[in-house]
Amino acid sequence: MLLHLRADVTQYTIWHRTNTAPIMHRMPPGPLDIVQVDIDALASYVEDLARCYFQLDRQAELPAVLERLRSNINDPRWDRKITYQQAMCCHLQNDRAGARQELEKLGPINAREQDVELLTLHLDLNGASLGFLDRIKLYDKVIAGSEERADRLHYKCARAFELLLVGETASAEAAFSETVDWAHASETKKPFDSHDDFWMCKGLEGLAVIRRDSALFSEAATRLTGILALEGEWTPEGRAHLYRSLGDIYRFAGMWEAGAAAYLQGEAFGESEIQQVFRSECLVKLGRGAEALELLAAIDTRSFGDEENADYAFAYAYVATATRDLEALAKAEALLTESKTPRTYFDRLRLYHLLAVNKVRTSILEGKPVPKRNRLLDLIGSFSRYIDIKPNLFGLGVNVNAMIDDSLAAKAAKKDEK
């Protein structure tokens, strides 16, 4: 396969140099549409080549291969494609710092950028450091420029999620509603594949949580159950993500038993620690607080990043507050104090939760009555995270980093099917 792909790249390069390059030399300097055709075609071959190197576990050779290909087309747009591939090579090896360094070579990236794949990678790597309006502009550009329906669906969801992050609930509801309506209309014209269906579920979930609509929860759960029934469609990691999403939907709908069961099934496929975090919340609602606390205490958090630790701290605070366990409340207070959250909005929530836990603990120590209902329980119970465990408002579960990873995986899977 690798030899065939190398031959494809070489052959197309020959066609470019014998057919397009002579025209370039006769034309005034500047971007030519005919060159863009060659750039897009050769870039597709290079993507396949890069994927093959990873499949063969020879990714260490890829950076040098890409650099040799940089001279295949004499055009700044091709140079940017190669730099994008170098950044993606780092990204797929979990070297986010290296990926950022590669992208920095391209200069500032903004909504004027025409390369949608480059924009999605920029959002993945640098989105958290961008301003709200800049992120919205990039989402709009990606949505408008994406050819795949699944890509458009998940970036529409991401845009709605951003509106929730700044407290624009009405605008977010309208955005989710528009997304769901658009998806339903699109599905009547062309049936969904499993990736379309997955992102449709995220739109349904966001709208269902805002409206507390049982019919929307039911539709999302039915679709996810159908996706899970497909044999050979998903990797074990993918099935873990699906079970986690199903568990979230049941949990937000107040179906605690079904939620706990979905998370437990997901643990068998992967992400066992974070599945346990969410399952603990269901167990508390089922009156099994001591079991939930024991489950959380046994989780090894040494591999967690900042966002995962914040997620764990929120859940621990939820369980500790529900069980009124003094030792657990003290630990929850420490966890919240040490946690780092990726957005200012969530840091404000972290501080609120810290105050709430402290009040409950102080009330118990001073022998004062603790209110039966505490706002902390309601807020914490409505959070969810997507693949990278970023704290997401209202349990939407859409995370830009994970969405881009899934988009790349989906595109690779479609190429494999051809």
Task: Note the pLDDT of residue 74.
Answer: 84
When pLDDT is cut at 50, 70 and 90, the band that residue 28 belongs to is: low
Same domain, residue pair 67 and 128? no
Task: Note the pLDDT of residue 372.
Answer: 61
Same domain, residue pair 138 and 223? no
Task: Note the pLDDT of residue 265.
Answer: 95
Answer yes or no: is pLDDT of 393 > 60.
Answer: no
Task: Note the pLDDT of residue 353.
Answer: 80
Residue 345 lies in a domain: yes
Residue 110 phi, psi (nearest 5): -140, -170
Q: 4-13, 116-125, 236-245: which range is least confident on average?
A: 4-13
SS3 94: coil
Task: Note the pLDDT of residue 294.
Answer: 95
Same domain, residue pair 344 and 232? yes
If phi > 0 it is left, if psi is from -120 to 50 it is alpha, else beta; for residue 310 that is alpha
Answer yes or no: is pLDDT of 399 > 80.
Answer: no
Give the rounded percent of residues in the chain with a pLDDT score beyond 70: 86
Q: What is the pLDDT of residues 30-47, one digit of tens each?
A: 667 778 888 888 888 888
Same domain, residue pair 127 and 235? no
Residue 20 lies in a domain: yes
Same domain, residue pair 120 and 224? no
Same domain, residue pair 310 and 401? yes
* Among 125, 145, 165, residue at a domain's last position: 145
Structure tokens at 224: 């996810």
Residue type, 39: I
**Domain span at 123:** 114-145
The rounded distance, in Å, linking the Cα atoms of 330 and 337 is: 11
Q: Are 143 and 152 in contact (CB under 8 A)?
A: yes
Same domain, residue pair 141 and 153? no
- Average pLDDT score, the chain: 82
Cα 20 off chain centre by: 39
Residue 84 phi, psi (nearest 5): -60, -45
Residue 413 lies in a domain: no
pLDDT (mean) for 175-196: 95
β-strand partners of 392: 384
pLDDT (mean) for 247-266: 93
* Among 98, 126, 145, residue at a domain's last position: 145
Same domain, residue pair 369 and 228? yes
Q: Which range scores top for mean pLDDT: 30-39, 53-62, 139-148, 338-347?
A: 139-148
Same domain, residue pair 271 and 125? no
Structure tokens at 276: 């346990």
Instruction: Please give the residue that has the higher pLDDT: either 101 or 232.
Output: 101
Task: Note the pLDDT of residue 30.
Answer: 61
pLDDT (mean) for 276-286: 90
When pLDDT is cut at 50, 70 and 90, the band that residue 339 belongs to is: confident
Same domain, residue pair 162 and 85? no
Task: Tell me which residue has tokens 């998903």.
Answer: 234
pLDDT (mean) for 256-283: 91
Residue 125 lies in a domain: yes
Within a 10 A sphere around the Cβ of 153, how many other Cβ atoms? 28
Answer yes or no: is pLDDT of 88 > 80.
Answer: yes
pLDDT (mean) for 158-162: 86
The rounded distance, in Å, linking the Cα atoms of 399 and 268 is: 23
Task: Note the pLDDT of residue 38.
Answer: 85
Within a 10 A sphere around the Cβ of 178, how many other Cβ atoms? 15
DSSP one-letter code for 370: P
pLDDT (mean) for 215-237: 90
Q: Which range scores top for mean pLDDT: 6-10, 36-40, 180-184, 276-280?
A: 180-184
pLDDT (mean) for 231-236: 78
* Among 55, 90, 107, residue at a domain's last position: 107
Residue 99 lies in a domain: yes
Answer yes or no: is pLDDT of 27 > 70.
Answer: no
pLDDT (mean) for 263-290: 90
**CATH value at residue 349:** 1.25.40
Q: What is the pLDDT of residues 367-388, one digit of tens each?
A: 888 766 554 444 444 333 332 3
Residue 284 lies in a domain: yes
Answer yes or no: is pLDDT of 259 > 90.
Answer: yes
When pLDDT is cut at 50, 70 and 90, the band that residue 25 belongs to is: low
How many domains, in total, are found in the chain? 3
pLDDT (mean) for 136-158: 90
- Confirm whether pTM is higher than 0.95: no
Residue 417 lies in a domain: no
Same domain, residue pair 139 and 222? no
Same domain, residue pair 231 and 353? yes
Residue 418 lies in a domain: no
Task: Note the pLDDT of residue 92.
Answer: 81
Which residues fall within 8 angstroms of residue 364, CB to CB, at 6 or more apart?
324, 326, 329, 370
